[in-house]
Chain A
């Protein structure tokens, strides 16, 4: 195993070495497109749900139309960023988000009371947030479509869909407000979603295992390039395959 660059030793590339890419451009565009759609949906939901707001705003049909089309567009940023040839990092992060250590599972069952040994790129709360958003998109879209094309569905299904849409909508408001709150109070994390990188010191403190993988990955990839120039046989894509 090659020796990874020791973070304590400043090298000639010190400036670039201090920045670790956390989200690539594809991920950031997907995140902000998703955020804008969520914002539109949440804003237009207010007059649709609260008659006091509807009284101030009016324009019921226009707002309902905006809400509908923003909802239909909702899965697009995520689907495009995951399935496209540009989505390697996105897919890798989804795998990270789906896989939990036993420590993290215990954190979930104890409702966050014991802090898990955080080593991976995302802590369990961040993972849960991402999973929740993905599930919420599917369920809100499904129930929303029932409310729009209600003719085909029995009345008690429409009632059930209304119920689910509203309860989950309330949960989304709570989660999104919490998400924004965390973002505004964690500037390094916020910057990584705006400009892509975190300081190495941040990664060492919050995600040492991920930092290690990134470094190993970089080292392995570099080694592979050399090797593939010699013989083009090596096609292992995931650098972690070598690690584990």
Chain B
């Protein structure tokens, strides 16, 4: 062994420690500033390429059960029951015949991912409620899904917001099975988990029944601004 090659190792550079700590530092910066970086990158690349970026503009598809329920449009029925004067069973055609509302909103998941400028079309939930004539003692709504497991809840005040719809079109076409079609709930002012997929029934009830995700610790009121007080009113 020559002296020179030993000299090499006598003044070693601690690259390992630097790269290791550097990665952790970058990760921390990314947590704090990543959202802004991602948005800037998305703007620079345009929505086409931005969509290919990790974390960019992609829906993460959730189903709480093992499979996606497959309901053909002609077999679809929406039950409106509970504290109403006139229980309803609506077909997709019934919904489409009602006045439609179009929304363009950012779909925001509570865990951090989001999809900007999603186009939605459907019927205002308040119109459906008016058609069923809600009784005065009603306080809240419970929603059931065709998947048989997922449930959601809204107070009556929340449900009457103009940007809470029973949606049958999304992303410029009929709602696909994986996105919760043919009909799903879309609650624009709240995080994505409130927008129940494969909507099968609306039950008008006298108290808020926390839904599936809320039973796993998600806030019952999933306002996008993060206010989670139990008595949030619709005015927020």
Contact = CB atoms under 8 A, between A and B. Distances in A.
Contacts of B219: 151
Contact of A209 (B1, B26, B61): B1
Contact of A158 (B30, B65, B111): B111
Given A51-B60, A99-B9, A131-B20, 10 more contacts: A58-B65, A99-B16, A100-B14, A105-B15, A128-B19, A159-B35, A162-B113, A166-B54, A167-B55, A168-B27
Interface string B2-41: 0001101111111111011011101110111111111000
Contacts of B1: 209, 212
Interface of B: 1, 5-6, 8-17, 19-20, 22-24, 26-28, 30-38, 54-55, 58-68, 108, 110-114, 178, 217, 219, 224, 226
Interface in A173-205: none
Nearest 10 A/B pairs, CB to CB? A98-B16, A160-B34, A135-B23, A158-B112, A139-B27, A99-B12, A166-B54, A159-B35, A163-B34, A51-B61
Interface string A122-138: 00000110111011101
A139 B9 contact: no
Given A163-B38, A166-B55, A61 B64 contact: yes
Given A167-B54, A244-B10, A146 B31 contact: yes
B38 to A, nearest CB: 5
B24 A138 contact: yes
Interface of A: 48-49, 51, 54-55, 58-61, 94, 97-105, 108, 117, 119-120, 127-128, 130-132, 134-136, 138-139, 142-143, 146-147, 150-151, 154-170, 209, 212, 243-244
Contacts of A130: 16
A236 to B, nearest CB: 18
Contacts of A58: 63, 65-68
B61 A55 contact: yes
Nearest to A130: B16
Contacts of B62: 60
A165 B219 CA distance: 24
A147 B111 contact: yes
Contacts of B64: 60-61
B20 A134 contact: yes
